[in-house]
A and B are shown apart, each in its own frame.
Chain A
Amino acid sequence: MILAQAPHGFLSPTGVEIAFLLVGLVTFGAALVSVTTKQLVHAALWLVVTLGGLAVEYLLLTAEFIAWVQVLIYVGSVVVLLLFGLMLTRAPIGRSPDADSANRWAALTVAVAAATALVWVVVDAFRATWIDLDGPAAGSTEATGASLFQNWVLPFEALSVLLLAALVGAIVLSRKAKAERSSPSLNSRDTDESSPSVPDARKNPAEQEGAR
């Protein structure tokens, strides 16, 4: 990151800093609502606001590429997947009190602990480092790519291997479940026997047509 020469104070904030703070507040509020609301789908939609707010924060820090990837992956795909899952299982309109978890306090403890750890690590790592927002963009696609594939190649590759493992695991799980379900039943054997004849019956007229 780029170090600013002049010492910075908190007393005379710039416009970007004010915007950053306000968006941060909105994001924080949306995050709070998304975990406290009693309506399942509303929680997912507040999550959209939260993730979008984060993208705006990235933008304000000139990390344009990260911001769009955030929108693309989280708002565009993860939330859609979440909503898909909700709609597929249960997504009543209105409150769903039975969806409330009993281990509220345990969850709160874990969340606070995780947040403390993250904040502590970040604060410890950057302390008094300031990003110069007026200079060349520190988070442009080029800069991000260069730092990612020069300084952080190993973690990047490790992450991709992790994701690959998860993908393979998901495929194995789904195939195993399918095989177990279909093998003992009689019906499936029936369809297995009959199915080869179906494409034959369909292909014959097609062949004749082709011959014509």
Chain B
Amino acid sequence: MNDALDVALRLLIVFVVFLTFPLIVGQAEHKVMAHMQGRLGPMYAGGFHGWAQLVADGVKFAQKEDIVPAGADRRIFQLAPAVALLPYLLVLLAIPIGPGEGAVGEVVDAGVFFVLAVMGVGVLGSLMAGWASANKFSLLGGLRTAAQLLAYELPMLLTAASVAMAAGTVSLPGIVDAFEWWWLPWQIVGAIVFFTAGLAELQRPPFDMPVADSEIIFGAYTEYTGLRFALFLLAEYAGIVVLCGLTTVLFLGGWHGPWGADGLGWVWTLLKSAVLAFVVIWLRVTYPRLREDQLQKLSWTLLVPLSLAQIALTGVVKVVIS
């Protein structure tokens, strides 16, 4: 009985995190992006500096009519948002925020593989949406999503494998436990490649070719309205949370910090993730969108070789020190 309660509590906490953190990131994006452009951003909703803007947006989305295009493949069209969103919920379960059993939703033995595998499934949602919408822009968006996923999944996996090699384990808490401060310079190339490839997999600007609004309206999500559209957006922001959490755990040492490592470790994890989320927003504001061929070129001619070099470096150092 106690076990069941424990599991239920963990699931509840992860679910609450899943619902609130993406909103926090979204709100931060509203404000940070505005100030980086010399604007103020939302100021009214909720009274104080528009803190409730995304809640208001959610209410608005919920009120909208749920439209399925006449030519669409109805069931797949309606299923797609769930397929896009649920993987991120599952991934959140496996990300540890502090040391010990208490600070992770569920300990997964092959954590790195679990996380990357499930994140890859999320892209299927975009593909389904793109195909089932019966819209040429949606189809183009779906195609670009697929091409992007195929290009960026590889460097992401390779760099994650590099960290796993360094730690000698594929379990996420195990990797953080094995972390030493000098991993930071050792794995820095891998970290950058992982983060960049993750951004591309989330289709965040400057890698948002699949939803390039000036070319193909909104890519695979063109035909969506109301709550289903909101779910796609939520998936994007949940993806940011997951990516930042993962990069923190894999490359930045999770709960390790200069001080206060015991007891307050989770603060470090959250702090590092928040800084990364800021970087995600910062990159979005700063850089223009990559063209499709530039996108592919960046992955195949730069990120893949870099990640292979990182693996080689990891292997050499690992052999030398052992």
Residues of A within 8 A of B (CB): 41-42, 45, 48, 64-65, 68-69, 71-72, 75-77, 79-81, 83-84, 87-88, 91, 93-94, 137, 140-141
Contact = CB atoms under 8 A, between A and B. Distances in A.
B73 A72 contact: no
A93 B118 contact: no
A91 B127 contact: no
Nearest to A70: B117
B170 A141 contact: yes
B146 A69 contact: no
A72 B113 contact: yes
A77 B113 contact: no
Interface of B: 71-73, 76, 108-110, 113-114, 116-118, 120-121, 123-124, 127-128, 130-132, 134, 139, 142-143, 146-147, 149-150, 153, 157, 169-171
Most buried by A among B72, B124, B142, B153: B124
28 contacts: A41-B131, A45-B128, A64-B108, A64-B109, A64-B114, A68-B110, A68-B117, A69-B113, A71-B120, A75-B121, A76-B149, A77-B150, A80-B146, A80-B150, A81-B146, A83-B142, A84-B143, A84-B146, A87-B139, A87-B146, A91-B131, A91-B139, A93-B71, A93-B72, A93-B132, A137-B109, A140-B110, A141-B170
Nearest to A39: B73
Contacts of B153: 76-77
Nearest to A77: B153
Looking at A48, A68, A71, A79, which has the most chain B CB atoms within 10 Å of its CB?
A68
A65 B110 contact: yes
Contacts of B132: 93
Contacts of A48: 124
Residues of A contacting B: mostly:
helix
A75 B120 contact: yes
A72 B130 contact: no
B291 to A, nearest CB: 15
Given A69-B113, A71-B117, 16 more contacts: A64-B109, A68-B117, A71-B121, A72-B117, A72-B120, A72-B157, A76-B116, A76-B123, A76-B149, A77-B120, A79-B124, A83-B127, A83-B131, A88-B143, A93-B73, A141-B170
Nearest to B113: A68
Contacts of B131: 41, 83, 87, 91, 93
Nearest to A144: B110
A77 B146 CA distance: 9
Nearest to A74: B117
Given A64-B110, A87-B142, A137-B109, A76 B147 contact: no
Contacts of B149: 76, 80
A45 B132 CA distance: 12
Nearest to A140: B109
Q: Which of A65, A71, A72, A91 has the most CB of B within 10 A?
A: A72
A68 B124 contact: no
A87 B143 contact: yes
A68 B169 CA distance: 15
A48 B150 CA distance: 17
Contacts of A76: 116-117, 120-121, 123, 149, 153
Contacts of A87: 127, 130-131, 139, 142-143, 146
Contacts of A72: 113, 116-117, 120, 157
A93 B134 contact: yes
Contacts of A64: 108-110, 114
B196 to A, nearest CB: 19
A68 B131 CA distance: 26
A65 B121 contact: no
A75 B124 contact: yes
Contacts of A93: 71-73, 131-132, 134
A208 B108 CA distance: 56
